[in-house]
């Protein structure tokens, strides 16, 4: 692991790091905030998955999470959104919603993306192993996951797929049903092929319909989000959770859009939600 930068913040350390990823077959960059703590202490780990066009830097620069993480004793990990580097395939038309910056947190099976686009394995296997090895304060028995937009899709689907690993799951403006919206049609078709039965494993609403369960969910969604009606459709998650008996706190925030102004405003609520569940016994 190579240290790109470290900065003191709220008594802890905000770092940016690079490593050679076995899952993605290329170098990957990520950020980690470690709050102040006593020697030998073990702290819970919150994963944050970013959205389309983003890198680790968006939430690191704009997320306003460090004060609360220092207060609550949470390690905050922000991976990149896709593999990058020489030889990594991209959308042939350079579109923002597929290819670089748009890995959709799946393991691609379709050429030419299958070689490097293995973001599911990266986020759930590769990077956690590195965090456990390189950050001695990280308590990998207490993990939670959140994300925004495409990353909200990733947080929901990964949380539903591994409910015993992640003790809390939340999202900002998530793509809740990619099988039913244009972003998802393009990404899931391009990475996984046209068999929609395969898509269901990467669709939060479909996972819930097929029996996946978590204890509860928190979602914040701005009502001025220009992607709300066509791409996000939170009412589909609300319906699925109601039918499955999953307690969902869905907050439609008046006047908020899809940007980090929304995320930073409600980040503290999400971190407290995660901390409460991460600190529980058992």
- In contact, 31 and 1? CB cutoff 8 Å: no
Give the three-class secondary structure for 121. helix
Phi, psi of 241 (to 5 degrees): -65, -40
Give the three-class secondary structure for 58. helix
**DSSP 8-state code for residue 103:** -
Q: How far apart are CA 194 and CA 41, in angstroms?
A: 48
Catalytic residue among 170, 225, 270, 274: 225
Residue 270 among the catalytic residues: no
- Classify burial at 272, counting beta carbons within 10 Å of its beta carbon; exposed 0-12, middle 13-18, buried 19 or more: middle
Catalytic residue among 107, 149, 153, 270: 149
Catalytic residue among 116, 258, 270, 274: 258
Buried b / exposed e over 119-155, threshold 16 CB at 10 Å, is: bbebbbebbbebbeeebebbeeebbbbbbbbbbbbbb
Buried b / exposed e over 164-175, threshold 16 CB at 10 Å, is: ebbbbbbbbbbb
- In contact, 246 and 213? CB cutoff 8 Å: yes
Residue 225 among the catalytic residues: yes
Catalytic residues: 149, 225, 258
């Amino acid at each position: 692991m190579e240290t790109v930068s470290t900065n003191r913040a709220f008594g802890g350390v905000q770092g940016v790091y690079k490593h050679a990823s076995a899952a993605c077959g290329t170098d990957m960059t990520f950020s980690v905030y470690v709050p102040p703590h006593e020697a030998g202490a073990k702290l819970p780990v919150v994963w944050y998955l970013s959205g389309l066009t983003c890198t680790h830097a968006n939430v690191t620069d704009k997320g306003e999470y460090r004060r609360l993480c220092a207060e609550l004793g949470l390690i905050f990990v922000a991976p990149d959104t896709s593999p990058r580097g020489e030889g990594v395939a991209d959308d042939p038309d350079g579109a923002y919603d597929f290819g670089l910056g748009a890995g959709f947190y799946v393991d691609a099976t379709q050429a030419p993306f299958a070689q490097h686009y293995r973001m599911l394995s990266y986020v759930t296997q590769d990077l956690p192993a590195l965090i456990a090895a390189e950050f001695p304060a990280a308590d990998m028995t207490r993990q939670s996951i959140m994300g925004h937009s495409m990353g909200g899709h990733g947080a929901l689907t990964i949380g539903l797929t591994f409910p015993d690993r992640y003790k809390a799951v939340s999202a900002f403006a998530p793509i809740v049903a990619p099988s039913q919206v244009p972003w998802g049609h393009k990404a899931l078709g391009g990475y996984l092929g046209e068999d929609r039965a395969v898509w269901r494993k990467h669709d939060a609403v479909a996972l819930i319909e097929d029996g996946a369960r978590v204890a509860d969910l928190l979602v914040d969604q701005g009502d001025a989000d220009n992607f709300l009606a066509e791409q996000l459709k939170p009412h589909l998650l609300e319906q699925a959770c109601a039918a499955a008996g999953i307690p969902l706190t869905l907050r439609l925030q008046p006047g908020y859009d899809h940007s980090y102004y929304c995320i930073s405003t409600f980040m503290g609520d999400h971190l407290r939600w995660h901390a409460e569940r991460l600190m529980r016994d058992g």
